Amino acid sequence: MTAKEYKNIIDSALEEYFKGALDMPLAGLAEAMRYSLLAGGKRIRPTLVLEFCRICGGDTDSALPVACAVEMLHTYSLIHDDLPCMDDDDLRRGRPTNHVVFGECTATLAGDALQAEAFGTILRCSLPADRRARCAAYLADAVGLDGMCGGQFLDMAGETKVLTEEQLSDINSRKTGALLIAACRMGVAAGGGSDEQLEAASLYGAAIGAAFQIRDDMLDVLGSEQELGKPIGSDRQEEKNTYMALLGAERCAQMIAKLTGRAKEVLQGRFDDSAFLCDLADSMAVRTN
């Protein structure tokens, strides 16, 4: 299956969530949730769930709710990242951010609700109970105190300081990498993969997660607002700690190449078919949005 085919399947599934609430008193909240959930994007995280499930011999149809749950969680993080108390961004994926359209209170609640619904979606799906539990646990580990939320806290706490490369990598491994790792691990769990495959998936997720963040930092300087769908140069204007500011474009490009090579290497011998994931790592290394 191609990346576009995966995206189409995921987009169609996401379209069905929370539609019933549009005719209820909670319609305003449901509309805000769907506004950001259906705003597009590459759907990398849910694609990782489905592909790792497939190459572990699992049923991707049964894993589709798990994939959608990861995207709900990711969308929650984007809504909250854009809030005035966080990054205070007005544009996301070429559209006004959630709080600009629905107000700060509703946007906050939309993010909160998407986080809760993500876990509910996993726990209500048709996978065997032990696989559901593992998927939910991996997601919780990725987004809690020691994961994405902790990384966001450390990022904000470091805004007035000059961080070392090690400190910056620690923040980004939590803020960005943790959810990508979780998506890979959840795919293995949903597919009934082995411990060896789980370890390989974790290493792959960590490598592409680090490369993803470095590329993000590069695009904030070298990209265009039209391609990114959001303002560029904001990191430099706000004097944020980024790989570009710390290392420069040439070193960043070298790191991305090394991490991409590592991501592809860890898959060898653990899965019978890793072509899609190798191609995905390569495409992410040169993405323009």
> What average pLDDT score do residues 243-258 get?
93
Which residue would you say has higher pLDDT here, 241 or 78? 78
DSSP helix/strand/coil, 124? coil
Closest CA to 50 of 151, 187, 177: 187
Q: For residue range 153-184, list pLDDT tens digits in order.
A: 998 888 888 888 999 999 999 999 999 999 99
- pLDDT band for position 66 (cuts 50, 70, 90): very high
- The answer on pLDDT for 145 being more than 60 is yes
- The answer on pLDDT for 124 being more than 70 is yes
DSSP helix/strand/coil, 92? strand
pLDDT of residue 22: 85
> What average pLDDT score do residues 45-55 get?
98
pLDDT of residue 228: 61
With a pLDDT cut of 90, the percent of the chain lying above it is 81
Residue ranges covered by each domain of the chain: 3-285
- The answer on pLDDT for 226 being more than 70 is no
pLDDT of residue 225: 63
Yes or no: say if 282 and 260 are a contact pair by the CB < 8 Å rule.
yes
Task: Tell me how far apart the alpha carbons of residues 252 and 240 are, in angstroms, rounded to a whole number.
Answer: 16
107-118 burial by CB neighbour count: b if 16+ within 10 A, else e? bbbbbebbbebb
Per-chain mean pLDDT for the chain: 93
Task: Tell me how far apart the alpha carbons of residues 186 and 176 are, in angstroms, rounded to a whole number.
Answer: 16
Task: Tell me how far apart the alpha carbons of residues 163 and 246 are, in angstroms, rounded to a whole number.
Answer: 9
Domain 3-285 has CATH 1.10.620.20: no
